[in-house]
Amino acid sequence: MKICLLTSNPNPYDDRIYYKLARSLNKISDVSIINPRVSSEEIDGVAIIGNDNTSPVSNSLWIIEQLKMIKPEIVQVTEPLLLSPAVKYKYNTSVKVIYDPAEDWRAMYREFSRKPVPLPQLLGFGIRQYENWFLSKMDHFIASDDWLFDYYSAKGPCTLIYNYPNQEIFSIDLDSVSRRPFSCVHHGQLRKERGLFLMIEAMKLVAEKYPEAYLDLVGHFSYPAEEELSHRLLEQYGLTSNVNISASIPHLEIPNRIAQSRIGLLPFYNIDKFRNNIVIKMFEYSACKLPIVSFDLPPSRKYIESVNCGICVEPDSHHSLAEGIMNMFENREAYSTYKLNGYNSFLEKFYWEAQEKQLFDIYTTLLK
């Protein structure tokens, strides 16, 4: 069996596409990742087929040519703009197509755009209409959270496979890691919708009571203007020694980096994107024995309350975020309970490999 994953993620080693889907499927099949935005290489038996960063995302002709050379039995599409080449290729072959969007793309276009109103709303509407045009041609859907499952299971057969951390990667010797006192961490995209400025404002309040308080921000900025503003605020508030901003790090280094802090932060805006979609970071914090301080949004609340691994605070408020952080610093008994509950949940079931059978079953069923 040959499988192709179609993506345009600029990171060839995306944690879901490469470290989870590709490496898991490589256990049962030959796997290729077609990505017009990266260079070609082969790593651990997975062929990454790129176009040296020169091909536009929607270069259907180039993508179809790669598919013709590989001749896969199954193509798994991860983004709506890549549905067109997959469906065009399907017209003349017996290939099966799986759609695995992993995001509410309508909300992404509508709520993350910096374009003036009403362009974001029109873009969100347009991407949903474009996606809908192809959904009837899909043989199966994969959803990474409950909202996506409810939505796409109404379109066709759908399987829920959560985006949990890799057990293999996150099972590190946590006892050997030195954790910085009064420290918090957040990793991922650095942008206002993900709470960038709310975290800085919160640390200003926390540092007034705990001068040694520390926030580790690990990730890339979505916009240069927000990067400049972040550094200006740190200077203005006297937080240059309290807040560290560093570039993205390789996925394999994330567990050790997270484990150097004591609290994991989820300060995401109260918008549809984060009210609907699960954020993988909360599972990664648990895997590294970090209690969670999160804004009170449905996906994070559901997990945190079910496991009892942290606290939820009032959304979109740097005051409530600061209070939550200080509460976690001060309540040692609750802190110990939260970190152990989260870590045990990771060991027991909230890890990627526990779901591999579901993934394998989709592929074997489609080829019967």
Spell out the CATH class of 2-164+352-366: alpha beta
Domain ranges for the chain? 2-164+352-366, 168-348
- Which residues, in sequence order, are bridge partners of residue 200? none
Q: Which residues contact 320 (CB under 8 A, 6 or more apart)?
A: 295, 313, 314
**Reported pTM:** 0.95
Question: Residue 57: which pLDDT band, with cuts at 50, 70 and 90?
Answer: low
Question: Residue 53: which pLDDT band, with cuts at 50, 70 and 90?
Answer: low
- Token duo for residue 324: 């939550």
Mean pLDDT of 172-196: 97
Lowest-pLDDT choice from 28-42, 45-59, 345-359: 45-59
Write out pLDDT tens, residues 91-148. Answer: 999 999 999 999 999 999 999 999 999 999 999 999 999 999 999 999 999 999 999 9
Q: Based on C-alpha coordinates, what's the Rg of the chain? A: 21
Q: Alpha-carbon distance 297 to 315, whole Å?
A: 7
Tokens 């001060």 locate to 330
Q: Alpha-carbon distance 212 to 209, whole Å?
A: 9
Domains 2-164+352-366 and 168-348 share a fold: yes
- Phi first, then psi: give them for residue 97, nearest 5 degrees: -120, 125
Q: Alpha-carbon distance 17 to 306, whole Å?
A: 28
Q: Which residues contact 55 (CB under 8 A, 6 or more apart)?
A: 36, 37, 62
Question: Residue 368: which pLDDT band, with cuts at 50, 70 and 90?
Answer: confident
101, 83, 81: which is closest to 17 by C-alpha? Answer: 101
Mean pLDDT of 287-291: 98
For residue 209, CA distances in Å to 231, 243, 244, 294 come to: 22, 15, 19, 21
Question: Residue 16: which pLDDT band, with cuts at 50, 70 and 90?
Answer: very high
Residue 367 has a pLDDT of 87
- Token duo for residue 90: 């399907």
Distance of CA 273 to the CA centre of its chain: 12
Write out pLDDT tens, residues 310-329. Answer: 999 999 999 999 999 999 99
Q: Residues 70-96, buried b or exposed e (16+ Cβ, 10 A)?
A: bebbbbbbbbbbbbbbbbbbbeeeebb
Mean pLDDT of 159-169: 97
Q: Percent of the chain at pLDDT above 70?
A: 98
Question: Residue 183: which pLDDT band, with cuts at 50, 70 and 90?
Answer: very high
Q: Which residues contact 332 (CB under 8 A, 6 or more apart)?
A: none
Q: Give the ranges where 158-280 is alpha helix by DSSP (H).
A: 167-170, 196-209, 224-237, 254-258, 272-276
Write out pLDDT tens, residues 244-269. Answer: 999 999 999 999 999 999 999 999 99
Residue 55 has a pLDDT of 56
Residue 59 has a pLDDT of 80
Residue 56 has a pLDDT of 59
Cβ 4 vs Cβ 48: under 8 Å: no
Residue 172 has a pLDDT of 97
Side chain identity, residue 102: A
Question: Residue 23: which pLDDT band, with cuts at 50, 70 and 90?
Answer: very high
Q: Is a pLDDT exceeding 80 seen at residue 28? A: yes
Distance of CA 314 to the CA centre of its chain: 23
Mean pLDDT of 333-362: 97
What is the residue-averaged pLDDT of the chain?
96
The residue that leads in pLDDT, 294 or 58, is: 294
Q: Which fold has domain 168-348?
A: Rossmann fold (3.40.50)
Q: Is a pLDDT exceeding 80 seen at residue 54? A: no
Q: Is a pLDDT exceeding 60 seen at residue 169? A: yes
Residue 51 has a pLDDT of 87
